[in-house]
Structure 1
Amino acid sequence: MPPTKACCAHDHDCETADCGVAYSLYKHVAVDQVRCLNEANVGSCRNVLRPWHTRLDAVETPLRSNEDDDEQEFLLHIPFDGSVKLKAISVIARGPLGTAPGRMRAYINRDDLDFGTAAQAAPVQEWELAVDGDARGVIEYPTQVAKFTGVHSLDLLLSGASGGMDYIEVHFIGLKGEFAERRRQAVETVYELRPVPGDGQKIPGIGDGAHWHA
């Protein structure tokens, strides 16, 4: 299946349109479990998952891949604290010219991915990313929603520096969709409504020598 194209969905006043509510899935990310393979600064992957209204803010340590002449890529693992329906993704890269990633592949509900297994597995969906990194924050990449329902974890493989640089850099990743509380397993408790005849239990409120009898 060919990569999905971007959709220019935010060429309006996002405050008026209340885009922040739609892009609020960051609140349901299990941040302490977010990890990224091949990030230049360990832990920087957590800096890109934040509120929509901060998407254009400067980031002291953006998510950057290690420098490599052949492969510029990183694999970001995003677990949620419940089930989500993912409708779109925003990727903003405001680094040096030519360092924006050119392609994104998404996998869901996988805890075993590394670059080797990702290369062998078919992504749920992939996109061609904006060459300029969407520096103005007006582009979103829509998902095939039916394939992104019941998502407990999301893996994003971003690769290919758009301008031929030896690393890629991302400043913001936004997740648009709906959240459903994690279903808690019901615990069934059985109460004995009356004592079993002959079990020797005392009758409440009656003398010490009184017991149930058959």
Structure 2
Amino acid sequence: MTEDSTLVLSKVSALNEAVTGSVKSVFRAWEQRLNSSEGHLESNEGDPELIVFIPFTSDVKLKSISVVGGADGTSPSKMRAFINRDGIDFSDAQSMQAIQEWDLAENLQGILEYQTRYSRFQSVGNLTLHFPDNFGGDTTQIQYIGLKGEATQLKRNAVTTIVYEIMPNPSDHKTHAEGGGGLSHVD
């Protein structure tokens, strides 16, 4: 996705992050993917599992995902993706069938992209990424997450108030005579 993408950064969240809100720092421009001063996402000590929830303002067609992990065994070793599912927690992630799973490499230079099964990632309103394990570190670190794809359509807000007129009230409606036309209103 580009910098003007449909990702809703303010609503991106993570479960098991050591520093609340740090997940937002891993979504940045491709050119900044190796800039460690921008911040990183890290799991709690002794528990390498992470879940990242990514909502979009419009449906997207997702082509690939790039993940730059941390050094010394803290890079995630596996990634599982769920689409259009709100509120996934760790027990859900472990028991549910992911739409796709990848075995990850330690991608410290940020050169690897993981292709999606494109036909399954056509109308993605939100994406949940589950990182169940790493390469042996006490924590899992993610420096960068990049998403490549394109927006398909804007989401429309549902209409919440509709007034139906079952019995018309004549006083609510102007007649042609009142509006300057040639017909008059008959009661």
Q: Given the two structures, how large is their TM-score scaled by the length of structure 1?
A: 0.73
Q: What secondary structure, in the 3-state scheme, does the structure 1 residue paired with 2:148 have?
A: strand
Out of 89, 99, 117, the residue aligned to residue 65 of structure 2 is 89
- Contact 1:63 1:169 (8 Å CA) reproduced: yes
Alignment of 1:56-135 (within 5 A): 56-68=34-46, 71-93=47-69, 95-131=70-106, 134-135=107-108
- Contact 2:26 2:39 (8 Å CA) reproduced: no
Percent identity of the aligned residues? 39
Give, in whole Å, the separation in 1 of the partners of 2:37 and 2:112. 19
- Contact 2:3 2:28 (8 Å CA) reproduced: no
- Contact 1:47 1:59 (8 Å CA) reproduced: no
Judging changes above 3 Å, is the alpha-carbon distance between structure 1 residues 60 and 85 closer, same or farther for their aligned structure 2 residues? closer
Correspondence 1:32 to 2:5: no
Judging changes above 3 Å, is the alpha-carbon distance between structure 1 residues 27 and 98 closer, same or farther for their aligned structure 2 residues? same
Letter aligned with residue 144 of structure 2: F
Judging changes above 3 Å, is the alpha-carbon distance between structure 1 residues 49 and 186 closer, same or farther for their aligned structure 2 residues? closer
Judging changes above 3 Å, is the alpha-carbon distance between structure 1 residues 200 and 157 closer, same or farther for their aligned structure 2 residues? closer
Q: Gaps (5+ residues) in structure 2?
A: 160-169
- Contact 2:42 2:139 (8 Å CA) reproduced: yes
- Contact 1:25 1:179 (8 Å CA) reproduced: no
TM-fit CA distance, 1:54: 1.3
- Contact 1:200 1:211 (8 Å CA) reproduced: no
Q: Gaps (5+ residues) in structure 1?
A: 1-22, 188-195
TM-fit CA distance, 1:96: 3.4
The aligned residue for residue 109 of structure 2 is 136
Give, in whole Å, the separation in 1 of the partners of 2:140 and 2:157. 42
- Contact 2:63 2:115 (8 Å CA) reproduced: yes
Q: What secondary structure, in the 3-state scheme, does the structure 2 residue paired with 1:113 have?
A: coil
TM-fit CA distance, 1:60: 4.4
Q: What secondary structure, in the 3-state scheme, does the structure 2 residue paired with 1:105 have?
A: strand
Give, in whole Å, the separation in 2 of the partners of 1:33 and 1:213. 57
Out of 121, 145, 149, the residue aligned to residue 173 of structure 1 is 145
After superposition, the CA RMSD in angstroms is 2.8
